[in-house]
Copies of this chain bind each other. A is one copy, B any other.
């Protein structure tokens, strides 16, 4: 089943930036979080951290407050001013005043040392749940000729103007687009768009392709976006 391949938006590991000046802690936490399924980058100072944030994709920041040079809280505020990245302060100072100050500086959570890596991981995960509309297939967008498809928004535009597709038509189109120009067999289409193993009239597919073409093609009688592959199935034209 070829379909599965493309759907494989492989679960990317979450990347954590650990800012701590103590090498042993960087080492220990790094290993522990790695075990928990995170990729850990480490920085020993605020400056270094800011540089790394510019160059790397980071999902969460772990910030120690006692840093050499710039104060941890200042780093926190700077980070927060630049992005809305989740920040967890990891600090040895454990009294309420410090915690309040840290949270008020823009941190999302504050954990005190000594800390349990499992707990930290759980807190990171809890925070990530809140991140963005964690839409499954985020940010996908297809362009096919003068047609633009945004699966997340359920929107299709032709030459810039929004056109309306029915649910079936929409799924059919996305299914074809997902194959990126390769042929999708009739069977596969029936299976994916209609579900399980469809048994009814197989003309069903033709009919819907036609309805789709009517809306999507500039000249429905001379399709150049959704193409028939005789004896096999359908495909979309290659970009």
**Residues on A facing B (Cβ under 8 Å):** 96, 99-100, 103-104, 107-110, 116, 118-119, 121-123, 125-127, 129-130, 132-133, 152-154, 162, 166-167, 181-183, 229-232, 238
Contacts and interface: CB of A to CB of B under 8 A. Distances in A.
B103 A154 contact: no
Given A133-B132, A154-B182, A232-B167, A99 B119 contact: yes
Given A154-B232, A229-B154, A231-B167, A133 B130 contact: no
A146 to B, nearest CB: 19
A230 B170 CA distance: 13
A207 to B, nearest CB: 18
Contacts of A183: 153-154
Contacts of A132: 133
Given A109-B123, A153-B182, 20 more contacts: A96-B116, A96-B118, A99-B116, A99-B122, A100-B118, A100-B121, A100-B122, A103-B119, A103-B122, A103-B123, A103-B126, A107-B126, A108-B126, A108-B129, A127-B130, A130-B130, A154-B182, A154-B229, A154-B232, A167-B230
A104 B122 contact: yes
Nearest to A109: B109
Contacts of A231: 167
* A123, A181, A229, A232 pick with most chain B CB within 10 angstroms: A123
A220 to B, nearest CB: 20
A103 B116 contact: no
A96 B167 CA distance: 40
A6 to B, nearest CB: 24
22 contacts: A96-B116, A99-B116, A99-B119, A100-B118, A100-B121, A103-B119, A103-B123, A104-B125, A108-B126, A108-B129, A109-B109, A110-B123, A130-B130, A133-B133, A152-B182, A153-B182, A153-B183, A154-B229, A154-B232, A166-B230, A167-B230, A167-B231
A150 B166 CA distance: 34
A85 to B, nearest CB: 11
Contacts of A181: 153
